[in-house]
Structure 1
Amino acid sequence: MNLGVRVDTRIKENLKKYQTQLLRLKELNAKEPPTEKVAMDMLCDLFGYDLEHVFGQYGNNNGRACDAVIKDDKKVFYVFECKRVGTEKKEFNKHVRQVIEYCSTLNVPWGILSNGIYWQLYYVDVKAQPVTATLVWDFDVLELSHRQAAHREVLLPLCREAISKRLKESILEEKRALSTENIARVLLSDEVLKAISGVFKRKVGVRVDMDTLEAKIRELCPNLPENIRGFRAPKKKDKPAQPEIKVVVNNEGAPKPASNCEENKNI
């Protein structure tokens, strides 16, 4: 990921400053309002949004309002929900419902949940029934180093400049592509199994058939979905079975075709 030198410089200059502020808030066990104030400042200074694009206490006619939205004159890009700085990472699961509700109400597919330190980016399928949320990106600000480029890049998907680059959409598409089901289908596909069989032939001197390989892979990877066969070519239809020949035994004990039985009765 790369959004340019200016974005990287902005992150480098501001990350350490906000880490210091967040540590101070954590020491004080600050409540939600001061945490929200720092998080909103981070949206501007660290992630690059202008003040005119961040709207606090944004809601609709039902009286409920999320902590903020990020929008321009025409479109809301993100719903933002902030919790107190002392909220543990494991507690975030119970707060996702709020993000889903606000995204669904405002018809916005992207939501951010944060306590200032830990940030989560969700894609909310507002058209699904029921509405579902997928965790697309997450990070802990205090675990990052402003001196390391790879650490600074972790912040890029939430930056203002990433919106036009459709960076979050690309991450979501890759996440979907790398689902357990798709990995299983590829791993158990004809192409992969044939390639593995070829390696066995070259390296071990034995060509293993694909069904045996699939069974062994499933044994080694027990978490693969049982109902996934993989991208496999349909098996050739079996040849029609030959008609069964019934045999009966006559009085002398010699077997004869059933077609002769009726003839024997008339002799």
Structure 2
Amino acid sequence: MHRRKEYGRMEKISLDAKGQNRLNILIRWAAELTRAGRQVPDYADLELIAHTNVVAVDGAGAHVVQAWEPTISWMLKQAAFGVGDPYLHLPEELLIPAGSEPEVAAVVQVEVTVEAVQIEEVQVEVSLAPSLESVSVPVPAEAQAAEPKAVPVSRTPKWELAAIEQVHEAIKRYVKPLEALKARDANEGDTRMVVTDMLCEGLDYDKFKDLTTEYMVKQDFADYGVRIDKQMVAFIEVKRISQKLNERHLRQVLMYAVNEGVEWMVLTNGAVWQTYHLTGGLPVVVDLVFEVDLLGPAPLAEKTELMFLLHKEALKRRRIDQMWRHRAATEPGALLELILSEAMLDELRKEVRRRTGIATTAEALSEVIRTEIVDPKLLAKLFKA
């Protein structure tokens, strides 16, 4: 249990297990940068970020947090995926704060060990051969008396590090070929050649063992069938690079997946990659899990993080499942169904009464939400026969 002074009063901050893990990661990262002479957010700001999982603070340290926002956000996302020490695997562009010029420095292997919270400070020992030096991250007095907590020791699996690096390098390598294809409005066949290279060199699929081109589904052909351990796990439909992916293309690959009982579907024009999940039943449920534009403005680290989920080793271990479940739980239709549930409408009715003194009914609130707030298309989709 920690305390933080805010708006002139003392407010308790209680970290759950995930929050404590985020704080441990941020402390280790900050300690390493402090040793390198970098200005980093102070302990109180790191604690608040770990608690809220939002990289934004008020006060004197706001500008420092803002400068490191891309880096901290990347580490928090990696932590959410179970990566143990993401600060040890930061992409090159996230090693410095936003807006800073890259530094040329010798490569030094650094081993960081964080001890438990001590009486006066958190001691972080950094081993730099041939001597040992110590770096301290100041801790507020309220945290000094906290019960020491062991720092979880976990390492990113070697296969994952290798896969992330493979995807990262492939995206960098294929940006120019994709730009060239787009500039000359290349046809679908040429686009498919680059997609094949990305699948093999970037996502580690074997062209002969894992990929089946023109896979026959009834009287039609899917561009690619993807096998892992001899099991068909996904269909990929490729369009020319200038073609905007649309619902008609989705229906096409959906037909293949339904007929073959395949769970994953990918639409791509080489630059844009859309990944969908199919849940069988009547009717079937299709969820867009993620979309990434390799030629878009998003940071390379973000593109790598998403494309990694399609890597053979990641798909084999179902790393994509967590993102799919989150998207399915928070997609507009699911949230609308939750809002219009009897329990939620009853709570909303009570809150209206508490705030305004006006008594209303769940039915009246439901009618207002349906007719005046929600997009009619979403309602039609949710309540279609």
Give the unaligned 5+ runs of structure 2: 1-76, 82-159, 380-385
Write out aligned runs for 1:10-25 (5 A): 10-25=166-181
Q: Distance in 1 between matches of 2:238 and 2:261?
A: 19
| Alignment deviations for residues 220-248 of structure 1 (CA, whole Å, 9 cap, x no partner) | x81289x9xxxxxxxxxxxxxxxxxxxxx
Whether 1:93 and 2:244 are equivalent positions in the alignment is no
- Cα offset, 1:9, TM superposition: 1.6
- Cα offset, 1:13, TM superposition: 1.3
Whether 1:181 and 2:332 are equivalent positions in the alignment is no
| Alignment deviations for residues 125-149 of structure 1 (CA, whole Å, 9 cap, x no partner) | 44435x553322212111155x643
Q: Distance in 2 between matches of 1:30 and 1:56?
A: 20
Q: Which residue does the alignment assign to 1:159?
A: 311
**1:87 partner SS:** coil
Q: Is the 8 A contact 1:103 1:126 kept in 2?
A: no
Q: Distance in 1 between matches of 2:365 and 2:171?
A: 48
Q: 1:157 to 1:192 in 2, by over 3 A?
A: farther
- Cα offset, 1:211, TM superposition: 5.3
- RCO higher in structure (CA 8 A, sep ≥6): 1
Write out aligned runs for 1:227-266 (5 A): none
Q: Is the 8 A contact 1:100 1:132 kept in 2?
A: no
Q: Distance in 2 between matches of 1:192 and 1:162?
A: 42
What is the aligned counterpart of 2:293 among 120, 132, 140? 140
Q: 1:74 to 1:9 in 2, by over 3 A?
A: closer
Q: Distance in 1 between matches of 2:281 and 2:369?
A: 36
**1:113 partner SS:** strand
Q: 1:207 to 1:40 in 2, by over 3 A?
A: same
Q: 1:74 to 1:142 in 2, by over 3 A?
A: same
User: Larger radius of gyration, structure 1 or 2?
Assistant: 1
Q: Distance in 2 between matches of 1:164 and 1:195?
A: 47
Q: Which residue does the alignment assign to 1:260?
A: none
Aligned letter for 2:237? Answer: E
Aligned letter for 1:97? Answer: R
- Cα offset, 1:119, TM superposition: 1.2
| Alignment deviations for residues 186-237 of structure 1 (CA, whole Å, 9 cap, x no partner) | 8935567767987x6xxxxx8776859968x959x81289x9xxxxxxxxxx
- Cα offset, 1:59, TM superposition: 1.6
Q: How high is the sequence identity, in percent, across the aligned residues?
A: 24
TM-score with structure 1 length normalisation? 0.66
Q: Distance in 2 between matches of 1:138 and 1:43?
A: 16
Q: Is the 8 A contact 1:188 1:214 kept in 2?
A: no
Whether 1:223 and 2:374 are equivalent positions in the alignment is yes
Q: Which residue does the alignment assign to 1:54?
A: 211
